[in-house]
Every structure is written in structure tokens, then in C-alpha cells.
Amino acid sequence: MLKTIVDIGNGIKLKNPIMTASGTFGYGDEFAELYDLAELGGIVTKAITPELRIGNPLPRIAETEYGMLNSIGLANLGLEDFVEKKISFIEKFNTVVIVNVAGKELKDYIAVAEKLNEIDCIDGIEVNISCPNVKEGGVAFGTDPKVAAEVTREVRKVYKKHMMLKLSPNVTDITQVAKACEGEGADSLSLINTLFGMAIDTKTFKPKVKSIVAGYSGPGIKPVALQAVYKCSQAVKIPLIGMGGITSAEDVIEFLLAGATAVQVGTANFTNPLAGLNIVNDLEIILKTRKISDINSLIGGMIV
Ligand SMILES: Cc1cc2nc3c(=O)[nH]c(=O)nc-3n(C[C@H](O)[C@H](O)[C@H](O)COP(=O)(O)O)c2cc1C
């Protein structure tokens, strides 16, 4: 009997380690028309802020050789509309749902977390202290361990279910931020958010993304993400949710071997909306073929 269940802490067991990453899967509703989302270990929604945000000016995405640039700027429908319009769908959804939480100021995170704590069908939150595409807040919360600790501590006071902190790779030493979040009660850490990046159109001389500097994601960032997961796995004890450039089941295995307990699939959803489902199915085939009966045996299993 193949065991694919993984435990990411504070009451959340995923039926398999594959989740979809924030900002690449909406609120799940559009993808639910394409496949049964219950096949996934879980989904993470687009960031929710207290107020509606229209986001940054266009163009705000561009393709690059090995991934993409985005500068969406946390466009979202705001807390009230999210609760009013999306919860009825999420309630019917038979897998783990994590809501990504963001804000300009600490009080924004607290307001969203406090409200979400009351909603039964939401299993946890992913506190986004790592968005590179907003002028205020965003990545600033996740680059200073002291500030990261403060956000974790204050959100922990109002949020009792699973609290995941999403880390930025745009720091000198990611393990310092990881330790700060663990020390203040984070249940798990997800990593990595996008790297800073840019691209220029050589015919028009214009930046390909209006904000000039944007967030870089996709296969090109996988080695950066893997080393971040590996380093954090050496520094903290709480579960790690790895992401960055995952497009295949082999990539998932690589992240687990580096120390992740689960993963998120992001940019791959844009090239193939069925990416999450395909990875779940392929992973099962690989495990059976290689006679790996329990997926947990892979976690941190790199042999050095
Ligand atoms: C278009 C787009 C929007 C994103 N929006 C969010 C967001 O709202 N909150 C967040 O924490 N991360 C967001 N991310 C980052 C992803 O969740 C993920 O951390 C990153 O893209 C790395 O994974 P990937 O290479 O598999 O895409 C976004 C990424 C993309 C490409």
C-alpha cells in the first residue's frame, strides 16, 4: 500500500505533497472546471488584503528564457468580497485550502488573519512577507529577521489554525528569517517567493514589465529554491513547503530530498493548467516503479 500522506503540522495532513502556489491558481474556481481539485494535496489562494487592490499598471507579466517575470502587485478582490463570493465554492472543495495573506502594514495582516480564523473551511494561512512587487510592505517584512519575527508573533496571537510563513530569497541569509519565524510560532515555512528580475525589449528599448524590476519565477529559479530549502532544513525543525520552478514529479522528489515535506507548483500552471494533476499522477507512478512505499522516506533523504 503506497503512503503519500504528509504532515505539515498543526493539524494539517495533505493526501499528497502537491499544492498549487499562490497567484498562479486564482481561488481554484477556474481550474475546477478543468479537473477535480480533490486530486491535489491542497491549494494556496491568491493573496488577500483587507481592501480590494487593482494591482500594478500593464504590462505586468513577461516571458523569459527559463521562466517568467511578474509584477501583479497583489491585485485581489479584498477580504470582504473574498468571504462573500469565494467561500461558497471553497466549502465544497475536498482538499486543504490555505489562504495567502498580505498587507501594507502589520495591522492589515492581523485584520485578514483574524477574519479567516473564523471560517471553518479554510485550513490555514500562508503569511506573505515576501512579495517583491509592492511599494509598501511586501518583501520589507521578510528581509529583516526582527520584522519577520514581529509579524509572526502578532499574527499568531489572532490566528489559531495552521500558520505558514512565506519566505523571500532576496536576502543574504534566509536561515535567519526562517529561525525568526519558527521562534515566534510559525507552524511551517514556504519558500521561495520570486527573485528580483528584469528584462528589456531590445527593439523598443523599453522594459518588458512596466514596473521595470519584477518577480522572477519558473524553471530558472529551481536551483536557487533548492538550496534555500536545504539550508533552512538544516536550520529549523518545522516542516518546509518548497517551491520554485517545479514542473515535474522528478522536481518534487528533488525538493523532498533537499528537506521539504511538501511542495507548491506555481508558474507551471501557466504553461499547462493540468500541471498539478499530472505531477500528482506521475509521482505515484514513479514511487510504485521505484518501490518507494512511503513518500515520507524521501524527506531530507539526500545522501552526501
Ligand atoms: C503571476 C504570479 C503571481 C504571484 N502571486 C503571488 C501572491 O499573490 N502571493 C505569494 O505569496 N506569491 C505569489 N507568487 C509567487 C509564487 O507563489 C511562487 O512563490 C513563485 O512563483 C515560485 O514558484 P514557481 O517558480 O513554481 O512559480 C506569484 C507568482 C506568479 C508567477
Counting atoms of ligand 1 from 1, which one is nearest the CA of 166?
A: 11
Pocket probe for ligand 1: among 25, 104, 217, the residue whose CB has the most ligand atoms within 8 Å is 217
C-alpha cell of residue 293:
512505499
How many angstroms separate the alpha carbon of residue 288 from the centre of ligand 1? 31
Confidence (pLDDT) at 19: 98
DSSP conformational letter for 56: S
Domain residue ranges of the chain, discontinuous segments joined by +: 6-52+76-194+219-298
**Where does ligand 1 bind, in terms of residues with CB under 6 Å?**
21-24, 46-47, 68, 70, 72, 74, 100, 128, 131, 166, 193-194, 217-218, 221, 243-246, 265-267
Q: What is the 3-state secondary structure (H, E, C) of 179-207?
A: HHHHHCCCCEEEECCCEEECCECCCCCCE
Name beta bridge partners: 221. Answer: none
Counting atoms of ligand 1 from 1, which one is nearest the CA of 130?
A: 11
The three-state secondary structure class of 41 is: coil
Confidence (pLDDT) at 134: 74
Q: For each of the chain's 304 residues, which pLDDT tens digit applies?
A: 899 999 999 999 999 999 999 999 999 999 999 999 999 999 999 999 999 999 999 999 999 999 999 999 999 999 999 999 999 999 998 999 999 999 999 999 999 999 999 999 999 999 999 887 777 777 789 999 999 999 999 999 999 999 999 999 999 999 999 999 999 999 999 999 999 999 999 999 999 999 999 999 999 999 999 999 999 999 999 999 999 999 999 999 999 999 999 999 999 999 999 999 999 999 999 999 999 999 999 999 999 9
Selection from 275, 261, 290 nearest residue 21 by Cα: 275
> Are the C-beta atoms of 97 and 139 separated by less than 8 Å?
no
d(CA 54, CA 41): 30
> Are the C-beta atoms of 37 and 274 separated by less than 8 Å?
no
DSSP conformational letter for 138: T
Confidence (pLDDT) at 66: 97
Query: What is the pairing mode between strands 67-70 and 96-101?
Result: unpaired
CATH of 6-52+76-194+219-298, one of 3.30.465.10, 3.20.20.70, 3.90.110.10, 3.50.50.60: 3.20.20.70
Look up 181 and say whether it is catalytic.
no
d(CA 108, CA 252): 33
Confidence (pLDDT) at 264: 99
Enumerate residues 6+ apart whose C-beta is below 8 A from 38: 93, 94, 95
Confidence (pLDDT) at 259: 99
Instruction: Give the type of residue at 90.
Output: I
The three-state secondary structure class of 109 is: helix
